[in-house]
Chain A
Amino acid sequence: MIGSPDVVAFTKEDDFGDSFSDPCSLPEEFSVPLFAHAANANPWTKTSFAKFSRDFILISEFSEQASFVGHPPGSNYPKLNFVEDSKVVLGDSKEGAFAYVHHLTLYDLEARGFVRPFCMAYISADERKIMHQFQELSSGFSKASEFLKLGNRKAFANELEKKLKDLEYTRSVLHKETELQKMNNGCYSTQAIEKANELANVEKSIYEHKDLLRQITSYPSRKRKDVDFVQHETETPGDTSVIDDTLNINHSDKTVETESESRKSSYTPQLIKGKSAKCFDKRLKTMEELCNASFFHQTLEQLNIIEKSFRGDLCLIYTSQIDRALLSKQSVTSFLFEAERDSEYGGTSKDFSISSNNPTVPILNLSGEPLSLESYTTCIDVDHVKPGVESMEGRPESSTSDITQETSEAADTETKGSFSSDKSIEAFGGFSPSSLQANYFDGLERKSKVSIASASENASGSVAVPQRTSDGNLVPMDAACCIGQDGFIFEEPLVELAQECCGDTVVNQEPLSLLHGDPALQMDYILEESALAESPNMGLTFSELNTEEVAKITIEDVSDSTSFMSASTSSDRAASPFTYGSASTLKKKKKAGHSALRFIRQYPFAQQAIFCLLSGRTLVILGVDEGTVRKLVNALFIFVPNLGKYGETVQPWLSSPFQLTDLQRWKLIGLQRAASPAGSSILHSLNRYSRYISILDCDNKTLRCPPYKGTLVSHLADHRTQIKRGSTYFLHVQGMLTQLIAKAFLYTFCHHIHLPMDINDQGSVTSRRTNFLLQLGYTVEESKIVQYLSELIKQHYIQGSSKGANQSFCFNYTTSYLYKI
C-alpha cells in the first residue's frame, strides 16, 4: 500500500530536448508558450497557475518499495499476493495539480517478484473536483483496473502455461543428456553432476511455476456489483481453455483471441538454458501484452468514459450528475419526450464499441447547426481511439515495449503530451543492472546531459513537497480521509505561495517526486527517450502521431468550450458526452426546433397539427415533393410522444398505401401523393382510415383534423413567438412538454381517481377522471393529450420499455374539419 504523499504525475518532456534547452535563463513571465509541440510537451506549461488547461489521465508504471509483494529477492519460493488496489489523492499546489491516483499491480512472469506496479491517475487543476468526485472516480477507475487485472490474470496464466511447457521440454532434454553423461562418464563425473543439478533446478522451477499457476488460477472470483464483471468472472479459474472460451463469447474482438488461441495450440516448447535468463535481458511486456488485448481496449474505453464524464467544471459535473440521478428516477415518464439514455455513466462497453465502430457518418450528417460542433467533436473523440489502436495492432513484434506502451497511451485521448515513461523503473531498481544497460548509459550520457542537469536542479523543487506538507498547504489524503470531509480542502491556495512557486521553479518542468530525484531513475527516463530517438522508424511514427495529436487538441479545445456554452444555455444533457446515440437525436431535435419554429410561423393551423401529435392521432403529411414532406416531418417530430430510441414511431417518407397496423406503429407519416394507380390506392387508404388520422396536405396547404380549442398548445406553438433561435424554441417546447408530462404523471398515479370505490363503480371512476382533468385546468381536447400521455405511461410501466408486439391503438370518434391557410 502506498501511503506516502508521492507526487504522482510523471511527465515526459518531448524527445526534442532543445525545446527545453535553458528554461532557467528567462523569468517565468517571459517564457513563450512552446510552439507546435507545446500541446504534446509538458502539459503543465499552459496556464498561469495550473500549468495545464485540461484534466487528463495518466497511466504510469513505477517502482515503489512499499508496494513490493511476493518473491522478495532473497527468497526463492514464489508466492503471489492478490493485492487490493489502493486509491489516494495527491496534490501539488505548487503546480496546481491534484490527482486521484489508483494503484494496481499486474503480474508479469519476467518481472521481479512477478509484479509490476502501475498507477492510473486522474489529474486536474481543480482540487475540489478530485475531492468531491472521489467516489465516482474511484468506482470508474476500479472498473478500469478490474479490466486490466482480469486480462492480466488470464495473460499471466497463459504465460505460465507456456513456460511450463518449456520447462517440461527442457527437463526431458536434460534428462536425456544426464543419462547420456552417466553412460559416458559415470555417475560422479563433473558433467553428470552438473547436469543433475541443472535437472534438479528445472524440476524445482517446474514445481514453482505449477504452484504459481495454481495460485493465479485459483484467484477468488469475488462477487461484484458490476454486471459486466460478474459476466467476466463467471469462469472458474482453473482451466485456461475455459477462460479463453468465455473471452471469446464476451468479446467481439475475436480475432485477437483466436489468434492467441492458435498461437497457444501451435506453441512449440523451447529449451530453456541452464542459467535462466534474467528478466533484464528481455524487453518488458507492454501493457497490452500484459493484459489481454481486448481487455486492454476495454480499459482504454473505460478511461475514455471517465475522462468524458469528468471533463469540465465541477459545477457542470454536479449538474449532470444530479440530472442523471433525477432522470433515473423519472424513468416512468422520461421515455415520452426525452432521448432515451441507456448508456449511463460507464455504460456497457459493448455499446460503446459498437458506436465507435461506425461513429462518424450519422453524427456528422446531423451537424448543420452552429451549435452542433459538439457532435463533431464527439465523433472526433471516438475516432481518436482508432488510429492509436490500429497503430498498436499494426506494430511489428520487434517494437520495444516502451514505445508500444506510449503509443497506446497516445491512443488515449487525454494522456497525450504527458507520456509517462518510467515503466521500467522497477527493472532499474539498481540491484543488478545488466551489461546491456550499462552500455546504454555509456552511450547516452553525453547526449542527455542537459536533461540530467535540469532534472537534478529540479530535485530540490521536488524535495520541497513534503515541506509544504508540513506547512499545511498540501495535505496528502488517502481514501479513508477524503470522503466527505470538506474541511481538508483548502478553499484558496495561498497566493504568495503560488507566486513563490512560480518564482523559484522552472515552469516547463514536471514536478518530480523524491524518487525522481534519484539520478538512476532519471537516467532510466533519459534512456528511454534516447532509445526512442535512436530508432528512426519509431521516431517517424511518433512524430506523425504528434502532429495528429496537436490538430486534435485544438479542435477539442474549441469543442470543449462549446460544450460548456451549450451546457450553460441549455438544461439538456448534451454535455454528457458518453451517449452518442442520444446526443445525436438531441442534435437532430435541436435542429428540428428551427424547422418547427418555421412551421408554426408559416402555418396558422400548426396548433391543430401539434395537438394531433400530442393526443396520439396519427398525422399524415401528404405531398408530391419528398423534400417538402421530409422537411415538415422533421419540423414536427419533436412533438411526437414516445418517439422511440431510433424514432420508430415516425415514418418520414412512405410511397405505398399504409395498412391499419401502420397506424398503430407510426404517429407521424410522410406520404407520397402520386398520380399512379398506387397513388390512388394510397388515397383510398387515406379515405378509409380518415377517422383515425389527420392529414396535412402540403401541396394545397390544408389540414384536416379535429378541432382544437385551448391555450396549452397555443403557448407551445404561438406563431407570433418572440423566440428567434431554433434551439431556444426547442428548449421552450421541452419545458412546456415537461409541464405536460408532470400533469400526466399526476393524473396517472393519483389513485383516488382511478380506483373504484366499490364494485360496479366504473361510471363514477370515469366522471372522477374527467373532473380531475378539468380541475387541472384542461379543456376537453387538452384532456385528451393528458389521457394519451397517461396511457403511454401506464403501458410503459406495465410492460417495461420493451414494446409489446401487440400494442393496442386508441382513438376517438370526433369530427374533423378542414383548415386552410
Chain B
Amino acid sequence: MLRWILGGRDAQGTVEKSAALFIGEEQPKNCFTEMQVLKGHFDIVRFLVQIDDLRFASAGDDGLVLIWNVETGDCLLELRCHTQQITAMTSYSFIRGRNAHAALITASSDRTLSVSFTQASAEVCCLLVLVRLDVWLSGGNELCVWNRDFELQCKTVHHSDAGISAMVELPKNFIAAAMDKEIVIFKLSLSGSDIVVMAMRHLADHQDTIHSLISINDGLFASGSHIGELIIWDSVDWTIQAYEHILWEEPAGDSQSEVKLKQIERSIQHMSSDGEYIVAAVGSGLYVFNVLMKSVVAYRKMAHDSNVLHTMRLMSCSEDGSVRLWELQDLPLPAEPASSGFFGMFGTFGRSGKQTGPPAKKMPEIPGLRSLELIGDLIGHSGAVQMFLSFKEKGLVTCSTDHLLIIWKDGELQSQLRSLAVFQKLEENQKL
C-alpha cells in the first residue's frame, strides 16, 4: 500500500498479515468522521467510566482520575488520590437527602480505595456496586462489603492466593465472583443493619483461569476462560445452560498444526452482552454467540492484528491500536464448504470435527451462521486501545497505552449541532 513511500525496502509485514481484513480508506458506513484528542494522562489509560450523559472519568497507571466532558472535550476535574496505578474504577450514584450524588470508586495498587482513602488490606481487582442494597463490594484477595459512607460492613475470610478477578450481581442478593478457575457464589444476608457475606457454592467447571464474567440478563450470566471456554450459567440455580469451547485452529492440515495450535491465543479476554448476544473477544478474534438459540452467530478468527481487549455492541478494540466496527451480514449462498474454526458443542471436547481447508467465514453445518463484516476502523492511537466507552450519538471515547484519549464523533451530526449553536448565538446577539 505505502510501499512507494517505504521505498520497497521495508517489508510490509504487518500490513500484509491483515491484508484480508484491510478495509481501505473508503468507509461509507463509518460515521466517526471527527476526532478530538484529549491529553492529560502521563501513563497508560486503562479505565473509562461513564458518570452521566455528559461526563466520564478516565483512570490509568499514572494514578490520576480525570473527569471529562464528552461534548466539549474539556477536562473538568483532576483527581489525584492514588500514588500507584489504578486497578479498578466504577461509578456510584446514590441519593443522599434529596440530592443525587455521583461518586467514583477507584481501587489502586497502593492499597487504597478512593474517594474515601479507605485502607484496604489487599489489592482490589474489581469493584461492584449494588444499587439495590446501597452497598458496594470490592474484590481482591478477599471480598469486602462497604456502605455508601465508605464504612467496611463485613468481609470474607482470606481465600487462596488466587484473588477475585470479576464479580457480577445475581438475583436474591447473590454475588458471583470469579476466582482463578472457579466461580464462587456468595450470599449477602441482611439482618437489620448488619450485612453478612458468606460463600455458598463453588462452580469448578472451567479448566483454566476465568478472565471474564458478565451478566447477560436477569436469568443468565456468562464466564469465559483462558483456554476459550465459554459457559453460560443460570443466575438462580447456577446450572450450566450452554458450553462453548472455542478452538481457533490453523487452517493448514499439516503436522505442524499441533504446535501452531498452542501458539494461537484463544483466551476469552472480554465479553459483552446486550441480553441476546454475547460478543466475546477471543485472542485476536471475535465471537458472537446467540444466548437464546444457544448457538454461534458469527465469528472471525483474526478480527484484529493483535489481542482484542474490549468489545461492545459489535465494536472491538485491540492491542494493535485500532477500534473496529463490525456488522452482522447474512452470508451469501455457500460457495465452498470450509471452516477454520471448531466448536465443541455442549459437553463435547476435542477436535473430532476438525476440518482442513482454506479459511472461510461460513460453517454450513450451523444454521443461521452469519458473517462478521468489518465496516470501519478507527485509527488514531499509537498504542493498544485499552477500552472504549460509547456515548451513543455523542460519540465514542477510547483510551490507550499512548496516554491519550480520543473522542470519536459523528462529523455530520456535530456539524449540524454547530450550526444550531451558531444560530443560537446569532439569536442571542440579535443579529437574526
Contacts and interface: CB of A to CB of B under 8 A. Distances in A.
Interface in B32-60: 33-39
A504 interface: no
A754 B423 contact: yes
Contacts of B411: 810-811
A754 B420 contact: yes
A762 B33 contact: no
Nearest to A820: B4
Nearest to B37: A661
Contacts of A814: 25-26
Interface string B44-87: 00000000000000000000000000001110000000000000
A586 interface: no
Contacts of A787: 415
Interface stretch (B117-125, B284-292, B365-373, B374-382): B374-382
A817 to B, nearest CB: 10
Residue from A683, A756, A791, A813 with most neighbouring chain B CB atoms (10 Å): A813
Interface string A679-707: 01001011111110001010010101000
A809 B35 CA distance: 5
Contact of A766 (B1, B33, B380, B412): B412
B423 A815 contact: no
Contact of B5 (A695, A798, A808, A812): A695
A754 B30 contact: no
B33 A810 contact: yes
A350 to B, nearest CB: 28
A689 B30 contact: no
Given A762-B413, A791-B418, A812-B33, A818 B4 contact: yes
A200 interface: no
Interface string B403-421: 0101101011111101111
B404 to A, nearest CB: 7
A750 to B, nearest CB: 10
Contact of A680 (B4, B10, B37): B10
B425 interface: yes
Nearest to A790: B415
Nearest to A702: B4
Nearest to A765: B416
A687 B421 contact: no
A751 B427 CA distance: 12
A676 interface: no
A661 B5 contact: no
A794 interface: yes
Contacts of B30: 813
B10 A622 contact: no
A555 interface: no
Contacts of A766: 412, 416
B95 interface: no
Contacts, number: 116
A689 B36 CA distance: 15
Given A697-B5, A787-B415, A810-B411, A794 B421 contact: yes
A808 B28 CA distance: 20
Given A808-B73, A808-B409, A810-B411, A687 B418 contact: no
Contacts of B15: 687
A806 interface: yes
A798 B418 contact: yes
Contact of B382 (A683, A688, A807): A688
A664 interface: yes
Contacts of B414: 808, 810
A808 B417 CA distance: 14
A189 B8 CA distance: 117
A660 interface: yes
Contact of A762 (B37, B416, B426): B416
A797 B5 contact: no
A687 B423 contact: no
Contact of B36 (A697, A798, A806): A806
Given A691-B25, A691-B379, A702-B4, A751 B423 contact: yes
Nearest to B3: A687
Contacts of B381: 660
Contacts of B26: 813-815
Nearest to A811: B33
Contacts of A697: 4-5
A808 B35 contact: yes
B68 to A, nearest CB: 10
A257 B418 CA distance: 50
Contact of B34 (A622, A687, A748, A810): A810
B6 interface: yes
Nearest to B72: A806
A795 interface: yes
B27 A683 contact: no
Contacts of A791: 415, 418
B425 A806 contact: no
A755 to B, nearest CB: 7
A349 B36 CA distance: 38
A700 B6 CA distance: 12
B24 interface: yes
Interface string A737-757: 000000000001101001110
B376 A660 contact: no
B261 interface: no
A53 interface: no
A816 interface: yes
Interface in B261-281: none
A622 B376 CA distance: 28
Interface in B374-402: 376, 379-382
B421 A660 contact: no
A325 B2 CA distance: 50
A794 B407 CA distance: 20
Most buried by A among B73, B409, B419, B432: B419
Nearest to B412: A766
A687 to B, nearest CB: 5
Contacts of A807: 36
A700 B411 CA distance: 34
Nearest to B74: A806
A702 B411 CA distance: 30
A664 B416 CA distance: 21
B131 interface: no
Contacts of A815: 24-26
Contacts of A680: 10
Nearest to B425: A798
B403 to A, nearest CB: 11
Contacts of A795: 418
Given A700-B4, A809-B34, A813-B27, A794 B418 contact: yes
A760 to B, nearest CB: 12
A749 B5 CA distance: 42
B422 interface: yes
Given A686-B2, A688-B382, A806-B72, A794 B36 contact: no
B133 to A, nearest CB: 39
Nearest to B69: A806
A811 B5 contact: no
B204 to A, nearest CB: 45
| Cβ-closest 8 pairs across A and B | A754-B419, A813-B27, A808-B36, A806-B73, A794-B418, A815-B26, A687-B2, A810-B34
27 contacts: A660-B380, A683-B2, A683-B6, A687-B5, A690-B25, A691-B25, A697-B5, A702-B4, A704-B5, A749-B426, A751-B423, A754-B423, A755-B420, A787-B415, A794-B419, A794-B422, A797-B425, A806-B74, A808-B34, A808-B35, A808-B73, A809-B37, A810-B34, A810-B414, A813-B26, A815-B24, A815-B25
Interface of B: 1-2, 4-6, 10, 15, 24-28, 30, 33-39, 72-74, 376, 379-382, 404, 406-407, 409, 411-416, 418-423, 425-426, 432
Given A748-B422, A755-B419, A811-B34, 16 more contacts: A683-B6, A683-B10, A690-B2, A702-B4, A751-B432, A755-B420, A762-B413, A765-B416, A791-B418, A794-B421, A797-B422, A808-B36, A808-B414, A812-B33, A813-B28, A818-B4
